Structure 1
Amino acid sequence: MRNKRAYIKPVLESETFVPQNYIAACGDLNKMYKFKCDAGSGVSGDVYLETNGKEGFQEGGFLGWGGDRYLSSYHACGITHEASTTDDFLDGYYITGSGRNKKVIPVKVWRGPNNDNTHCTENLDMDSWETVKS
């Protein structure tokens, strides 16, 4: 007697592709933030970087006593800057006055294209900043 083979219908099996890593192939390339250097509305003051890990401004960083670190004097230039989304934007404080008249304003600090300048904005929500392609 002859061996009979049973017909088996072909079945296509598929898998759903689930990416494991995010890679910005082209969407974030050359993307720039636009923000206005406007902290303090033109009043001269000083900028300190949030460096001690404690919430709020703590004095003493200039002398190395565990406070936030002094960066530079500052006067808003009022210019809308374009900065790469890969640049460092630092948390800091813009300070005017002294004693009872001291005013502390949280700011985002950008050090400029050569990392040698101080530009600040009071708009801390970077997700709300306008972005453009360079």
Structure 2
Amino acid sequence: MMPSRYSLQKLIDKYPHLYQKGSRHNPNVENKPDAYIVKITLHLKHHPIYGKNRLKITETHYKDGSPKKYRYQWELNPPSLDKSDSHITAWENESHEDDPANQTKSEPHHHHHVPFDRTKRAENWHVRDIEAAIKEIEPFVLKGIAYTK
């Protein structure tokens, strides 16, 4: 089901302890001819290793509300021009069916699990929605430790 702005805001409001003080997180839902696109940028607390960082969320939903595509990226903020230089971790379901070398057992779901190296991919069996992504990075943000998964 397609999330409403209200339900997205309620979800965001569940995790105030993760966010940079005073930052605003307004969900944006774009109505395209064939899909709805949800975009949210969560500005996270200053991290002792990564400095300014954010969780960038993009979801595409079919017009019937069912999910089509997702990308949850924890990255430095502002990002550098080279995405790998900003990358901490990400979960996506972009298919690599034409590139067997880049496929995972959970294809199309995958996890870019190595900080600062988006070329490395692992299976992603669990992070497939916004809240799962938030919960996955939560201990690393709160404890100020390097991402390792």
Does the pair score TM above 0.5?
no
Could you say which structure has the greater relative contact order, defined with CA pairs below 8 angstroms and 6 or more residues apart?
A: 1
Higher helix share: 2
Q: TM-score range by the shorter chain?
A: under 0.3
TM-score, normalised to structure 2, is 0.25
**Structure whose CA Rg is larger:** 1
